[in-house]
Amino acid sequence: MVPNISGAAQPSTGTQKGKDMDVTQEYEHEFGGKPACISRAPGRVNLIGEHVDYNDGPVLPAAIDREVNIASGENPNNLVRLFALDLDEKVTFGLDRLNVKVDIDGSPLPAWALYPAGVAWSLMEAGLEVKGLNACFTSNVPIGAGLSSSAAIEVGFGVTWQALASWDIKPLELAQICQRAENEYVGLSCGLMDQFASACGVENHALYFDTRSLEYQPAPLPKGVNIIIADSGVRRSLTTSAYNERRASCEKAVELLREYLPDIGSLRDVSPVEFAAYKEFLPEIERMRAEHIVKEIARVQSALSALRRSDDLAFGALMYSSHASLRDLYEVSTPELDILVELTRDLPGCLGARLTGAGFGGCTVNLVRQENSVEFMEKLELGYQERTGREARVYLCYASQGAASERTNS
């Protein structure tokens, strides 16, 4: 069964109907007929638990009301024709030439097209039918901002092919297929959190996700508190950043710690007490990276406990602690992200702030009391401009439902 999207949260700019109408009209103009399917897939914000997903740790993300919208129909010639509306770029490639990553003219696929092409490849590797596709898509998930725009595209095309071929898999399995696309086709060694949150989001809830057992549970967000995103305007490309280096440092730390803790499989298996005992045997870089991971995993557990007892002050304090660790130990923050976090400490109603996503640019996530939210947004924008000369986009964000597709009557 293909899930219905009627219960999906509305995006913060325009209605869902408006977004669907845009891609539908573009599809009709581009391909000369009505689309057979309309799909949506949200981005995500990670409230706490950064860089622990590829270390088998638990994370606490939420799907958000910033999403990819896709209008699509079948292509009878085993081709995939894509129109990226936001980039005003088009590409066509064959499903029989996915391994060589070229378009029908033999030119390398543009970077943005690797994501849907990778999903098609990964679906086929999983033994699922992938039909030829015509599609127009647009997104209001900022690219390179740490809100998982790439995962939203992957999961969006995943549910699109699911709807067109009518096969049925669980959202978590689809997330794993999309993760494989990013790992093995695009070439980024990401964990599962981003695709999981996009596929499995629950409205008005964060998701406690154990990346080792793959068990997850919704955690209700505090009442009277808003999630506010602040976009620093600094962009990064993960595949050309130090993301993969951080992952390699964690793997090296595990290898070295096994001399003292032979049964560990990942940093998830090292307790804070054990790490304190053996950290001096690690080189400085590996020690710093591992210390962040071990303590961040503990922070996630404390954060879940804080949500369960409605202790928003404790949750906010953990967010500040997480940011300091990402800045000083994992070294993935930027001066702009640090300024955004520092400014919040003097703003009324702010409970906590931290960078979200892999870092190296992008956004901060802030928990702010509802009654202070408008003032918070105005003062954070002004303070950031005064300190950096840059403009920050600051906006309310709501926890939304996960990805879905809907067949049309065409």
What is d(CA 195, CA 200) in angstroms, rounded to the nearest whole number?
Answer: 8
Backbone φ and ψ of 64, nearest 5° = -125, 165
Which residue ranges of the chain lie beneath pLDDT 50? 1-18, 20, 239
Mention every residue, 6+ apart, whose C-beta is less than 8 A from residue 179.
190, 191, 192, 194, 195
| Percentage of residues of the chain with pLDDT beyond 90 | 83
Mention every residue, 6+ apart, whose C-beta is less than 8 A from residue 333.
323, 326, 327, 355, 359
The alpha-carbon radius of gyration of the chain (Å, integer) is 21
For position 141, what pLDDT does the model report? 85
For position 238, what pLDDT does the model report? 54
C-alpha count within 13 angstroms, C-beta hemisphere, residue 369? 10
Q: For 284-333, where are the alpha helices, taking DSSP H only? A: 284-308, 312-328
What is d(CA 340, CA 34) in angstroms, rounded to the nearest whole number?
Answer: 45
For position 16, what pLDDT does the model report? 39
What is d(CA 367, CA 314) in angstroms, rounded to the nearest whole number?
Answer: 11
- In the annotation, is 86 catalytic? no
For position 145, what pLDDT does the model report? 67
For position 183, what pLDDT does the model report? 93
For position 12, what pLDDT does the model report? 33
For position 5, what pLDDT does the model report? 25
In angstroms, the Cα distances linking 284 to 69, 134, 293, 406 are 45, 51, 14, 52
For position 133, what pLDDT does the model report? 97
Contact yes or no for 357/46 (Cβ under 8 A): yes
Active-site residue, selected from the candidate residues 20, 65, 103, 194: 194
Q: What is the pTM of this model?
A: 0.86
What is d(CA 217, CA 48) in angstroms, rounded to the nearest whole number?
Answer: 15
Summary mean pLDDT of the chain: 91
In angstroms, the Cα distances linking 136 to 35, 65, 83 are 9, 20, 5
**Domains observed in the chain:** 16-220+401-407 (3.30.230.10)
For the chain, the farthest-separated pair of C-alpha atoms sits apart, in whole angstroms, at 67
